[in-house]
Amino acid sequence: MTTTLEPRKLRLGRIGDSPRRVDGTPKVKGEFAYSSDLSAPGMLWGHTVRSPHAHARIVSIDITEAVTVPGVRAVLTHADVPGEKSYGLEFRDQPVLAIDRVRYFGEPVALLAADHPEQARRAAGKIRVDYELLEPVTDMERATSQPPLHPGSPTSGHGYRDDPRPNVVRSILIRHGDPEATAEVSVEGVYETGIQDQAFLGPESGLAVPDGEGGIDIHVATQWLHADRAQIAPCLGLRTEQVRVHLAGVGGAFGGREDVSMQIHAAILALNTDRAVKIVYGREESFTGHVHRHPSKIWAKHTARPDGRLVRVEMRILLDGGAYASSSTAVCANAAAFACGPYAVPNARLEATVVYTNNPPCGAMRGFGAVQTCFAGEAQMDKLAAALQIDPVELRLLNALAPGDTLPTGQRIECSLPTAEVIRRAAALSPPEPEPLPRDPLRLPGGAGNTTRGEGIRRGTGFAVGFKNICFSEGFDDYCTARVRLLADGSAEVYCAAAEVGQGVSNVILQVARTELGIDEVRLAPQSTVTVGSAGSTSASRQTYMVSGAVRDACRAALEEREARGEGEVDVERVYRHLPTTPLDPETGQVTGERAHVSFGVAAMRVVAEVDIDLGLTRIVWIGTAQEVGRAIDRQAVEGQIEGGIAQGLGLALMEEIQTRDGLITNASFTDYLIPTALDMPPVETVIVEDPDPDAPYGIKGVGEPPTVVSTAAVVAALRDATGRELPRAPVRPDEIVGL
Amino acid sequence: MRVSLRVNGTEAEADCWEGESLLWALREQLGYPGSKNACEQGECGSCSVLFDGVLVCSCLVLAAQADGHEVTTIEGLADGDRLHPVQEAFLETGAVQCGFCTPGLVVAAAYLLERSPEPSDEEIREALSGNLCRCTGYEKIFAAVRLAARSQVGREGRG
């Protein structure tokens, strides 16, 4: 049963084409090597022993019985960490292995390596850890008055606002305009969002291989090879160049692979045993193996004139960072900076605080910070529209942010930002007419459960607009390196360490190189720290933007050198930097230079939902969305990012939440933590708006995050319309939409 | 215990322990790593294979149960470089992103089209609802199944 379809598109694509993925064929054949598929001769299996408590003092660790289990080759604790005992993405506040205290459920305490993973698992049960339980800090509202979990305040002294309260990771206050400004109409609300998991399909995994000379090669699924290396090497007590990090196949990321997971652990075991060591997390372990989306509580007040013009926005945002800092400081800043959404707001007071607790550590997840405040801000815009008796879309258009306007941080918008057009294009999409009854149960809330024939069903429509920055911010020296070799046979090879996490950056690199070099024969070398400098992180919607700049510059330099030299092989490396940013003033939250953020993305969305008000079940019927993308390098890939981003936002709106009790995760499985299935996702109609950004390579913007930012807000808005309930919390629980 | 089975038409033998899943035996012992492990409890479908022609999660089947049976994995769908129509369609419609769910989805979609060559949209959704994808939002996967169905019908129509 084989046949060949006529390829509709060019196999070798340039900018603007939609070529087939360069990694597509091995992926559909099952031949693509993910990090969990790797092996090496004589390989051992590593295993991590984790804390069953959210907060405890470690009295003692006894490994004597575990080391006698057949097949076990190493049992290691913090004493065996050869270098620095702690690491961290931005602040070194997280022990490689717990030393005298555990601060979250699942914190790594000990490591084992054995011939077979089952031997390691059984031996793990024979490690005796004597814990003395401590009261866990689990309520983020009380955290700032409880004893500090990190007495040294690891994040203080980094230019942030001085906040002496215990357990504050960072707080930020943006004061904009006249603090006394007021107007006739105000609406208030308190909103909450739960902890969301990235739930990438390919669990954390990798392979560490000692080189026999004291160094090590680590093959891992990650978002930033060079940042991993910078954290790994000091903990191993090795020089940077002794640690080589290679990208293994990545089964999704969404922010959850920005922090180090098993990298250092596998390396320590490998160096200790002088054997290759592989670690693969199971799904349950994965839930404790990476950071999550911060849960939030947000107090908001929006004030407007009777004609609908926004006069003032006040928001107080509280985020639970969990046990370690991860990227909480950036999430906190984003929450405040984008709290007003894509609207011109002349006066604002935006305060965000992220705290340490003994809950699961939180960090980067698609749309970080902006997802939470969009949920609150867009609910407020709907409330305001109702109070003003203005159409919600009209209210948004009236206040739509445009180039030349000033953000609450004092930054003037200089990139393209056609907010009004995006709103109009999304609003113009026509949702399908209500379907007559009777219907196939799959087209009703409850679906295959066959729980209704249509009785108790209410339909609602929601609208929302999402707004977020593109690229890194606040003075971070962000750059991307690319290296191009022009070979004697007329072909070219590109080296770029940008992590392909599934989003398709490999194709972007090749499309840019083919366009610039004017040839089709371009290959992408394996991503590694060995052959090229840092590409920066695959996160913050930055990687397509950044690699496009770097590969473009390297290609042009290569052609120039070829021109100058006439003949022979050319090999050049170039570093691309976007426009420089500067920090926000720690006291006022105002820009200290021209800009704190590089570029901005905006997406608008209309959602139709049906709710069974007897059972609290929902069916999202249809989603229509418009998003501004600068310029689409590959429209099919852009659509894929938008559709996939929507699914994650829909998940947070309807079903996704890590449940905790006293800091312990109680639903660490795909049986208990639900993500949208093929039956949960509605048809999605997408309008791509192109308005090239003059400062960006080829005018492009990153596209991955805005769809996730907007869709939680838009989906819950549809449920509010269907039920008339306030629904201030995401995910919406069934019992909140029954009994009308 | 010794387990003898046929994988993709080839006789295979593995030395398994009692608790070993078919997925583990395929991936770690028999050299078929194409089936993926993402949940270990039959929720995600990444490990989907055909067991005597029936779609199963290989993580829920004991390796010992496969003794004397026939298993088709993702590696068995293409004929060398000639891809299965579902594989072609996944590439064509952009249904692959990270691809970790892809092997399971391709097997599940091929199984659907074998039983129902012209499935309705509802049939497609229901048939694939046991396969989680975190990247795509499924839209392009549905497009791939529809495209594969059309290409198969067209092929048969040409005789």
**CB < 8 Å to B155, chain A:** 3
Mean pLDDT of chain A: 96
**CB < 8 Å to B124, chain A:** 678
Instruction: Give yes or no: residues B111 and B54 share one domain.
Output: no
Residue A247 has pLDDT above 80, yes or no: yes
Q: Which of B57, B76, B95 is the C-terminal boundary of a domain?
A: B76
**CB < 8 Å to B139, chain A:** 639, 643, 681, 683-684
Contacts of residue A324, Cβ cutoff 8 Å, sequence gap at least 6: A88, A93, A94, A103, A104, A356, A361
Instruction: Give yes or no: residues B16 and B72 share one domain.
Output: yes
Contacts of residue A169, Cβ cutoff 8 Å, sequence gap at least 6: A155, A321, A325, A328, A329, A332, A354, A355, A356
Q: A122-141 b/e with 16+ CB inside 10 Å = b?
A: bbbebbebebeebebbbebe
B residues 89-108 closer than 8 Å to A (CB): 89-94, 96-103, 106
Q: Is residue A633 within 8 Å of residue A482, measured between CB atoms?
A: no
Give me the number of domains chain B comprises: 2
Output DSSP code: residue A370. H
Residue A498 has pLDDT above 70, yes or no: yes
Compute the residue count for chain A: 740
Residue A302 has pLDDT above 80, yes or no: yes
**CB < 8 Å to A501, chain B:** 98
**B152: contact with A, CB 8 A cutoff:** yes
**CB < 8 Å to A450, chain B:** none
**A202: contact with B, CB 8 A cutoff:** yes
Q: How far is A227 from chain B (nearest CA, A)?
A: 21
Residue A382 has pLDDT above 80, yes or no: yes
Decide if A644 and B137 are in contact by the 8 Å CB cutoff: yes
B residues 108-137 closer than 8 Å to A (CB): 122, 124-126, 128-137
* Average pLDDT value for residue range A325-329: 97
Decide if A640 and B41 are in contact by the 8 Å CB cutoff: no
Q: How confident is the model at residue A157 (pLDDT cuts 50, 70, 90)?
A: confident
Decide if B99 and A502 are in contact by the 8 Å CB cutoff: yes
Residue A86 has pLDDT above 90, yes or no: yes
> Which of A2, A198, A440 is nearest residue B78 as measured by Cβ atoms?
A2
CATH number at residue B150: 1.10.150.120
**CB < 8 Å to B122, chain A:** 440, 442-443
Options 3.40.50.720, 3.40.50.2000, 3.90.1170.50, 3.40.50.10440; CATH for A37-134+203-250+257-289 is: 3.90.1170.50
Residue-wise pLDDT for A648-667, tens only, equals: 999 999 999 999 999 999 99
Residue A523 has pLDDT above 50, yes or no: yes
Q: Which of B36, B51, B76 is the C-terminal boundary of a domain?
A: B76
Instruction: Give yes or no: residues B143 and B120 share one domain.
Output: yes
d(CA B55, CA B66): 14
Q: How far is A605 from chain B (nearest CA, A)?
A: 15
d(CA A309, CA A360): 41
User: What is the reported pLDDT for A10?
Assistant: 44
Q: Which of A8, A28, A641 to mutate to test the interface with B (most CBs of B within 10 A)?
A: A28
Contacts of residue A190, Cβ cutoff 8 Å, sequence gap at least 6: A297, A298, A299, A300, A728
Decide if B83 and A29 are in contact by the 8 Å CB cutoff: yes
In degrees and rounded to multiples of 5, residue B50 shows phi and psi of: -100, 125
**A622: contact with B, CB 8 A cutoff:** no
Residue B153 has pLDDT above 80, yes or no: no
Mean pLDDT of chain B: 95
Q: How far is A334 from chain B (nearest CA, A)?
A: 24
User: What is the reported pLDDT for A3?
Assistant: 42
What SS3 class is residue A375?
helix
CATH 3.30.365.10 given to domain A479-577: yes
B residues 43-82 closer than 8 Å to A (CB): 43-44, 46, 73-75, 77-79, 82
The identity of residue A313, as a single letter, is V
Instruction: Give yes or no: residues B41 and B15 share one domain.
Output: yes
Q: Which of B76, B97, B132 is the C-terminal boundary of a domain?
A: B76
d(CA B59, CA B37): 7
Q: Measured over all CA atoms, what is the biggest interatomic distance in chain A, rounded to whole angstroms? A: 79
Decide if A201 and B100 are in contact by the 8 Å CB cutoff: yes
A residues 220-259 closer than 8 Å to B (CB): 249-254
Instruction: Give yes or no: residues B64 and B6 share one domain.
Output: yes
CATH number at residue B59: 3.10.20.30
**A216: contact with B, CB 8 A cutoff:** no
Instruction: Give yes or no: residues B56 and B107 share one domain.
Output: no
Instruction: Give yes or no: residues B94 and B136 share one domain.
Output: yes
Decide if B103 and A30 are in contact by the 8 Å CB cutoff: yes
For residue B103, the surrounding DSSP H or E stretch is helix B102-115
d(CA A410, CA A432): 42
Taking CB atoms and an 8 Å cut-off, how many pairs form between chains A and B? 207
Q: How far is A135 from chain B (nearest CA, A)?
A: 32
Instruction: Give yes or no: residues B24 and B63 share one domain.
Output: yes
User: What is the reported pLDDT for A39?
Assistant: 96
Q: Is residue A221 within 8 Å of residue A524, measured between CB atoms?
A: no
> Which of A2, A8, A199 is nearest residue B134 as measured by Cβ atoms?
A199
Instruction: Give yes or no: residues B16 and B60 share one domain.
Output: yes
**CB < 8 Å to A201, chain B:** 36, 38, 44, 46, 98, 100-101, 132-135
Residue A276 has pLDDT above 70, yes or no: yes
Instruction: Give yes or no: residues B113 and B68 share one domain.
Output: no
Instruction: Give yes or no: residues B52 and B91 share one domain.
Output: no
* Average pLDDT value for residue range B27-35: 97
Pick the residue from chain B with its C-alpha nearest to A636: B94
Work out the angle between the directed axes of helices B121-128 and B102-115 (0-180°, nearest 10): 130
* Average pLDDT value for residue range A197-202: 98
Q: How far is A361 from chain B (nearest CA, A)?
A: 21
Pick the residue from chain A with its C-alpha nearest to B110: A1
**B143: contact with A, CB 8 A cutoff:** no
CA distances from B12 to A485, B16, B19, B67 (A): 45, 12, 19, 10
Q: How confident is the model at residue B158 (pLDDT cuts 50, 70, 90)?
A: very low
Residue A4 has pLDDT above 90, yes or no: no
Decide if B78 and A3 are in contact by the 8 Å CB cutoff: no
Pick the residue from chain B with its C-alpha nearest to A507: B97
CATH 3.20.20.140 given to domain A413-471+597-736: no
User: What is the reported pLDDT for A379?
Assistant: 98
User: What is the reported pLDDT for A8?
Assistant: 46
**A488: contact with B, CB 8 A cutoff:** no
Pick the residue from chain A with its C-alpha nearest to B124: A678
3-state secondary structure A104-158: CCCCEEEEEEECCHHHHHHHHCCCEEEEEECCCCCCCCCHHHCCCCCCCCCCCCC
Q: How far is B101 from chain A (nearest CA, A)?
A: 7
Residue A7 has pLDDT above 60, yes or no: no
A residues 443-462 closer than 8 Å to B (CB): 443, 448
> Which of A3, A8, A28 is nearest residue B96 as measured by Cβ atoms?
A28
A 10 A CB-CB count for A89 gives 25
Range of the domain at B17: 2-76
**CB < 8 Å to A252, chain B:** 97-98, 100, 134-135
User: Which range among A315-324, A480-489, A531-540, A562-571 shows the weakest confidence by mean pLDDT?
Assistant: A562-571
Q: How far is B68 from chain A (nearest CA, A)?
A: 24
> Which of B91, B137, B138 is nearest residue A28 as measured by Cβ atoms?
B91
Decide if B103 and A440 are in contact by the 8 Å CB cutoff: no
d(CA A387, CA A187): 8
In degrees and rounded to multiples of 5, residue A257 shows phi and psi of: -110, 15
Equal CATH topology for A37-134+203-250+257-289 and A413-471+597-736: no
**A313: contact with B, CB 8 A cutoff:** no
* Average pLDDT value for residue range B34-40: 97
Per domain, the residue ranges of chain A are: 37-134+203-250+257-289, 413-471+597-736, 479-577
A residues 66-125 closer than 8 Å to B (CB): 118
* Average pLDDT value for residue range A212-219: 97
Decide if A3 and B44 are in contact by the 8 Å CB cutoff: no
